[in-house]
Structure 1
């Protein structure tokens, strides 16, 4: 079944995640109390609504109970962020990622049960969006507007197959530049190298090619 996502707070950080999830073809509900921001995302997200995230009745009416993963990216209002997180926990959201403003905010979010806490000054929206889509994507680094390096944990689709079997370069235009296995790292692995379950592959390529590679060999391994 296709996962559904919601992004609450459409500032620079939340907007970046919303755009990237939408670009990856995910079903995204975008929510903000600012009408101008919501209008900006009407053509990007699956649905964009004006609402107060601290209003439990409004979140229920919007069907938040049925959303698999909610990202709380509220700006400078720490009180609203904490209250929204509490409400979402009470609604039984399966996974909750929350933006923290500072260490104190993070401590409170930890205590009330946020599943993942992120600091936008340390984490790019694109990087987080990829980790949200699949827990097998461990890290994501932009080299330019079109090229990136991604660190991927091998799941069942890749395990016990060689790089030659997977034919990643020919099929997806990506290059596996290294394989990490425990404390060992194999730089420029041979085509005959067999991948083991939980190996970490360092892959470089164009964003569009990496996206195809993730969809075919990574995302469904969760």
Structure 2
């Protein structure tokens, strides 16, 4: 089964963290930044790493974005670059674009130009730690916004013996991007395989939906 493909624009602390986490969990990652040193620093850990002026529409189009499953616009303070990256990725048919905003006005503009989700990572500091403390079922959490996270979880009790197809998680706003078998990461897991008690899963979704995983 094909690995999921994502682009990450902007390789500051947040963008680098997202790119490395996606790559670690078996996704193909295209990492882009205008600073050579940031591109060189991540090149060995992702599928492709390119230096490009993200505010230049033609430079973005030349990267070949049409087959991506999603894009993360991790550019905070450069409003022009984050807007251009959002516009071009949607223009290229990328089905899901998550964009980082520096403030509320920036966020409103990103939504207007097509971002499917706008996040404020700096506002979410502390939520990850709190959730990991409260719930022993969440092995790890990357809080992408006040309402959206990537989590690694042990198999919920009500999943055991059921396939991902039967669980129909997408209808609840959840997207399983990988399964872990020990230290082995299996990207885009077989939807017809029954979940086992010792499985762990990497899931993207709304926090409200994630919190309901263990409510039953």
The equivalences for 1:20-31 within 5 A come to: 20-31=21-32
- Find the counterpart in structure 1 of residue 39 from structure 2: 38
Structure 2 alignment gaps of length 5 or more: 129-140, 168-193, 202-208
User: Residues 166, 81 of structure 1: CA spacing in aligned structure 2 closer, same or farther, 3 A cutoff?
Assistant: closer
Alignment of 1:127 with 2:133, yes or no, is: no
**TM-score scaled by structure 1?**
0.61
Q: Give the alignment's Cα RMSD to 1 decimal.
A: 3.5
- Find the counterpart in structure 2 of residue 53 from structure 1: 54
Does 115-124 or 19-28 show the bigger shift? 115-124
The count of aligned residue pairs is 161
Distance 1:23 1:44 in 2: 8
Distance 1:20 1:89 in 2: 23
The equivalences for 1:185-204 within 5 A come to: 200-201=213-214
- Contact 2:4-2:28 within 8 A present in 1 as well: yes
The equivalences for 1:105-124 within 5 A come to: 105-123=106-124
State the secondary structure of the residue aligned to 2:93: coil
The equivalences for 1:78-93 within 5 A come to: 78-93=79-94
State the secondary structure of the residue aligned to 1:94: coil
State the secondary structure of the residue aligned to 1:5: strand
State the secondary structure of the residue aligned to 2:121: coil
Structure 1 alignment gaps of length 5 or more: 132-137, 142-147, 175-181, 186-198, 203-222
Residue 140 of structure 1 deviates from its aligned partner by 5.5
User: Residues 167, 149 of structure 1: CA spacing in aligned structure 2 closer, same or farther, 3 A cutoff?
Assistant: closer
Distance 1:173 1:75 in 2: 32
**TM-score scaled by structure 2?**
0.62
Residue 151 of structure 1 deviates from its aligned partner by 10
The equivalences for 1:1-222 within 5 A come to: 1-123=2-124, 127-128=142-143, 139=149, 157=163, 167-168=196-197, 171-172=198-199, 200-201=213-214
Distance 2:196 2:3 in 1: 27
Distance 2:90 2:200 in 1: 41
User: Residues 54, 65 of structure 1: CA spacing in aligned structure 2 closer, same or farther, 3 A cutoff?
Assistant: farther
User: Residues 149, 65 of structure 1: CA spacing in aligned structure 2 closer, same or farther, 3 A cutoff?
Assistant: closer
- Contact 1:10-1:31 within 8 A present in 2 as well: yes
- Find the counterpart in structure 1 of residue 134 from structure 2: none
Residue 36 of structure 1 deviates from its aligned partner by 0.3
